[in-house]
Amino acid sequence: MSKKTIIVFSGDYDKLMAAFIIANGAAAMDDEVTMFFTFWGLAALRKPVGAVANSADKSGLQKAFSAMLPKHAEKLGLSRFNFAGAGRSMMKKVMKSENVMTVAELMETAREQGVKMIACTMSMDVLGIGKDELVDGIEYAGVATYLGEADESNVNLFI
């Protein structure tokens, strides 16, 4: 058994698909997988709108950032041809007809397979995202934790 580490920096829907497909593939090949979510990638871990408690201790700018950031993995935009979300909707339509898993489904499968997901606490602070706004069952850490995991890994990706 070997180990894979993936840094998820991007908040683009298509890049998240790639990250989660690799993570799921590696887990299905009996590898240990750690995904480290930082900056825009954190949006993928957000709970759907409505499930989020109101964090009263955010500054004005933090509130602005967290309000602008997509509220759920399925609300993320494409890195190209997004057209304010229309491109993503069209792509999801094609994905459905081709039986391609959505990011939400890939994330669920990754959890079932024991993929470890870590949220970067520094970027959570910068973007004004509280732990109560992220999905359950994830860990919280910083760069040293990621580097420690990467040291044991034989594939390391920055997506």
Partner 1 sequence: MSATITELKSIASPVVVDARGVSCPGPILAAKKQIGGVPVGNVMEVLATDSGTLKDIPAWCRKMGHDFLGSFEEAGSIHLFLRKAK
Q: Name the residues that contact partner 1, by CB under 8 A.
A: 21, 24-25, 27-30, 98-101, 109
Contacts of 139 (CB under 8 A, 6+ apart): 116, 117, 118, 119
CB of 53 to partner 1, least distance (A): 34
Residue placing its CB nearer to partner 1 in the complex, 93 or 131: 93
Residue placing its CB nearer to partner 1 in the complex, 100 or 157: 100
Residue placing its CB nearer to partner 1 in the complex, 3 or 47: 3
Residue 28: Cβ within 10 Å count: 10
| 7 DSSP β-pair partners | 36, 158
CB of 13 to partner 1, least distance (A): 16
CB of 25 to partner 1, least distance (A): 5
| 139 DSSP β-pair partners | 118
- Spatial separation of the C-alpha atoms in residues 12 and 103, rounded to whole Å: 11
